Chains A and B, each alone.
Chain A
Amino acid sequence: MEHTEPDRDDIGAKLGMWVFIFTEILLFGGLFLVYAIMRHRYPEDFHLASRQLNTFIGALNTLVLLVSSMTVAMSISAVQKKDKRMATILLLITLLCAVIFLVNKYFEWGHKISLSLYPGSDLMMQLKHGYILFFSLYFFMTGLHLLHLIIGAIILGVALAKIRLGLINDQHYVLLENGGLYWHLVDLIWIFLFPLLYLIT
Chain B
Amino acid sequence: MTEESYPIAHPSYLVDTGKRKGIKAWLTTCDHKRIALLYLWSIMVFFIIGAILGETMRTELFRPGQQFYGPQTYNAIFTLHGLIMIFLIVIPGLTVVFGNFVMPIMIGANDVAFPRLNLFSWYLYILGAAVVVVSQFAGSGPPDTGWTFYAPYSTQTHTNVIAAVSGAFILGFSSILTGINFIVTIHRLRTPKMTFFKMPLLPWAVYATAWIQVLATPIIGITLLMIIGERVFRIGFFDPALGGDPILYQHLFWIYSHPAVYIMILPAMGVITEIIPTFSQRRIFGYKAIAFSSLAIAGVGYFVWGHHMFTSGMSKEAIWVFSLLTFLVAVPSAIKVFNWVTTMYKGSIDLKPPMLYAMAFIFLFTIGGLTGLVQGALATDIQVHDTSFIVAHFHYIIFGGVGFAFLGGLHYWYPKMFGRLYNIRTANIAWGFLFTGFNLLYFPQFVIGLEGMPRRYFDYLPQFTLSQQISTVGGYLLGIGLIIMIVNLFRKSGEKAPDNPWGGKTLEWQLPSPPPEENFSTPPNVSDFPYDYD
Contacts and interface: CB of A to CB of B under 8 A. Distances in A.
Given A22-B215, A132-B243, A1 B113 contact: no
Given A119-B234, A133-B242, A19 B183 contact: yes
A146 to B, nearest CB: 14
Interface in B20-35: 20, 25, 28-31, 34
B242 A6 contact: no
B243 A26 contact: no
Contacts of B236: 119, 129, 132-133, 136
Interface string A138-170: 011000100000000000000000000000000
B397 to A, nearest CB: 25
A6 to B, nearest CB: 6
Contact of A30 (B189, B222, B243): B222
Contacts of B16: 1
Interface stretch (A8-16, A87-95, A188-196): A8-16
Interface stretch (B40-48, B59-67, B244-252, B443-451): B244-252
B313 interface: no
Nearest to A17: B180
Interface stretch (A31-39, A50-58, A70-78): A31-39
Contact of B248 (A23, A27, A37, A136): A37
Interface in B224-264: 225-226, 229, 233-237, 242-245, 248, 252, 255
A12 B180 contact: no
A130 interface: yes
Contact of A136 (B31, B188, B237): B237
B223 A30 contact: yes
B77 interface: no
Interface residues of A, number: 42
Contacts of B217: 23
A1 B188 CA distance: 25
Nearest to A1: B18
Given A26-B219, A136-B237, A140-B226, A3 B245 contact: no
Nearest to B17: A1
B55 to A, nearest CB: 37
A16 B18 contact: no
Given A31-B222, A133-B243, A136-B235, A2 B215 contact: no
Interface in B176-195: 176, 179-181, 183-184, 187-189
Given A1-B16, A132-B243, A33 B252 contact: yes
Given A30-B252, A34-B226, A136-B236, A2 B242 contact: no
B214 interface: yes
Of the listed residues A26, A27, A120, A140, the one surrounded by the most CB atoms of chain B closer than 10 A to its CB is: A26
Nearest to B223: A30
Contacts of B237: 34, 38, 133, 136
A110 interface: no
A22 B221 CA distance: 14
A120 B218 contact: no
A118 B233 CA distance: 9
Nearest to A32: B222
A132 B240 CA distance: 12
Contacts of A9: 113, 188-189
A37 B176 CA distance: 27
Nearest to B34: A1
Interface in A164-193: none
A2 B188 contact: no
Nearest to B187: A15
A11 B468 CA distance: 57
A109 interface: no
Contacts of A43: none
Given A130-B243, A133-B242, A140-B229, A22 B19 contact: no
A19 B180 contact: yes
B274 interface: no
A125 B234 CA distance: 10
Contact of B215 (A15, A26, A136): A26
Given A6-B111, A19-B183, A120-B234, A29 B219 contact: yes
Contacts of A42: 243
A23 B215 contact: yes
B115 interface: yes
Nearest to B181: A16
Given A3-B30, A3-B31, A27 B242 contact: no
B381 interface: no
B532 interface: no
A151 to B, nearest CB: 13
Nearest to B119: A3
Nearest to B256: A30
Interface string A113-137: 0000011100001001110110011
Contacts of B225: 144
22 contacts: A1-B16, A1-B17, A1-B517, A9-B113, A15-B184, A16-B180, A23-B214, A23-B218, A26-B216, A27-B222, A30-B219, A31-B222, A34-B226, A37-B245, A119-B233, A129-B242, A132-B236, A133-B237, A133-B242, A133-B243, A136-B235, A140-B226
Given A23-B180, A27-B222, A133-B237, 19 more contacts: A1-B18, A1-B31, A2-B18, A3-B29, A3-B30, A4-B518, A6-B111, A15-B188, A16-B180, A19-B214, A20-B180, A26-B216, A27-B218, A29-B218, A33-B252, A34-B237, A120-B233, A130-B243, A136-B233
Q: Nearest 3 CB-CB pairs, A to B?
A: A129-B243, A30-B222, A136-B235
Interface of B: 16-20, 25, 28-31, 34, 110-111, 113-115, 176, 179-181, 183-184, 187-189, 214-219, 221-223, 225-226, 229, 233-237, 242-245, 248, 252, 255, 517-518
